[in-house]
Chains A and B, each alone.
Chain A
Amino acid sequence: MSKVILHLDDEPAIREILAAYLTQKGYRVVSAETPTEALQAIGKEHPDLIITDLQLGDGDGLETVDQMRTAQPGVPIILLTGVLIDPRVARQSLANKVDAYLQKTLPLQKLSDEIDRLLNRGS
């Protein structure tokens, strides 16, 4: 049974690429364009891990993270953003909200490694 990953991003190209990559790695990917869709998917799919963007068209990523935590407590969440933030600052300010903070400039392999780490940590 492959693990389910929920991906929230308002850019279709990003969603497509990440879904193709993670599917090839053996995961089942559920993509959402808006926070509303993402929250609905959590209730329906109960994902093993969530990846979300920080800047969203119709909502704030951090606020959405709080709602996700409420909807499914304990699920690992990766914040994936193209906004350049100093990693030290990000770790300090986001540590209590998300399990990992990654920039979109990183290779997909790094993201995959982080997903494996978080999922294996849980199991």
Chain B
Amino acid sequence: MRRIYGFFIAISAVITFAALAAVRNINQTVTTSDWVNHTHATIYAVDRVVNSAVTGDSAARSFVWTTDPRDLVQARGEFNEMSDHLESAKALTRSEGLVYQQILRLDTLAEQHAASAIALATRRQGAGTATPEMRLKADPGSATLREIRHLAGEIRADQFELLNQRDKSAYLQAQTTRWVVGTSVVLDLLLFAMVAWLIRIDLKTRQKLAETLRTSNETLETRVHERTRDLAETNARLLTENLERKWATQSLEHQLRYNQTIVNAASDLVLVVTKVLTVTRINPAVGTRIGWGESDILGRPLADVLRGDASQPTDAIIGQIGQALQSGRELHHQAARVVNHAGVELPAIFTLLPLRDNDKVVGGVLLLQLTSTAGRVPNGGNS
């Protein structure tokens, strides 16, 4: 766009230059026309001065021969007219130094000649008809008239020379103007062509950009739609997965409660111990049958609850259980004695099942079955 603006500025500058040149030429033409008219008027006035001088001189000479008063009147009239033309010539050339000087000189000569001719005629009125030839021969008017003619010729030639120069100058000026205008028109046409070319390129570029933008928008819109669809699908899948996870958790919790209920319903004593044989969990039967509450027994050593019998001491049984857990073995139907909350030892049979977490033994479950009813707590325990 900047280049187009630049070209338009250049076109405007060329048009302005051509217009200024044309206006200047018109002004100069008007001035020249005035000057030409003025010059022709000067030439005309000079010619009229010469004509009047010649005609007046002829009339004065005729009067010398004929003494006809009409000749004298004509001579006076011609010389008066000559004076008028001289005044006109002086007025026309007053601002032109050299020509004006020539006109003044012509004026002087013409006035002298007129005065001389009138004087010759006046003298003829009082001198009779015997000596007109002698008087005419003695009159210096012929020489003055030649000088007037010669000077008028010079003035006329100078003026025509000026007119000639003026014509040449006007021709050159017109030619220059033609060249300026012609060149300006050609230059403007070239500039307009270049502007049109640039606009065409600019339009093509804009069309290309618009097409690219449209394609990009379509691509973007397609991608947005695809992405939105993907997100919606992903969202639906995640929602389904989340619901499945909640469902599985709910199911596990339900199964856990269910299993817990089953365990709690068992009448055998269940004790969960760690690998170092610390009691960490019991079932309700421990409380109901031997009186230990969770707060009493949890965290205590197994040896506080389980003792040896007559066949083997407590250390041996505890050691056997510890070794079984270390090696991941089960023990079944082992005889032992259970200590109730009151400190009474009761005969029992136990089973040990290792408790595994990812194939690693982390503790054990001890199932105790009392073999005698003596020493049992009748209704609940301390818990």
Contacts and interface: CB of A to CB of B under 8 A. Distances in A.
Interface stretch (A16-24, A37-45, A87-95, A115-123): A16-24
A10 to B, nearest CB: 12
Which secondary structure dominates chain B's binding surface?
helix
B383 interface: no
A105 B251 contact: yes
A104 B244 contact: no
Interface in B238-256: 239-240, 243-244, 246-248, 250-251, 254-255
Contact of A107 (B236, B239, B247, B250): B247
Interface residues of B, number: 13
Contacts of B248: 105, 107
B254 A104 contact: yes
A17 B243 CA distance: 6
B179 interface: no
Contacts of B171: none
A11 B251 CA distance: 11
Given A14-B250, A17-B247, A108-B244, A24 B236 contact: yes
Interface residues of A, number: 16
B250 A83 contact: no
B244 A107 contact: yes
A82 B255 contact: yes
A84 B250 CA distance: 15
A1 interface: no
A84 B236 CA distance: 31
Interface in A1-58: 11, 13-14, 17-18, 20-21, 24
Interface in A57-107: 82-84, 104-105, 107
B250 A20 contact: no
A21 B240 contact: yes
B306 to A, nearest CB: 32
Contact of B239 (A14, A24, A82, A104): A24
Nearest to A103: B251
A93 B246 CA distance: 30
B338 to A, nearest CB: 32
A82 B240 CA distance: 21
Interface of A: 11, 13-14, 17-18, 20-21, 24, 82-84, 104-105, 107-109
The 3 A-B residue pairs whose C-beta atoms are closest, nearest first, are A82-B254, A21-B243, A104-B251
Given A82-B258, A105-B248, 11 more contacts: A11-B250, A11-B254, A17-B243, A17-B247, A20-B243, A21-B243, A24-B243, A82-B255, A83-B258, A105-B251, A107-B247
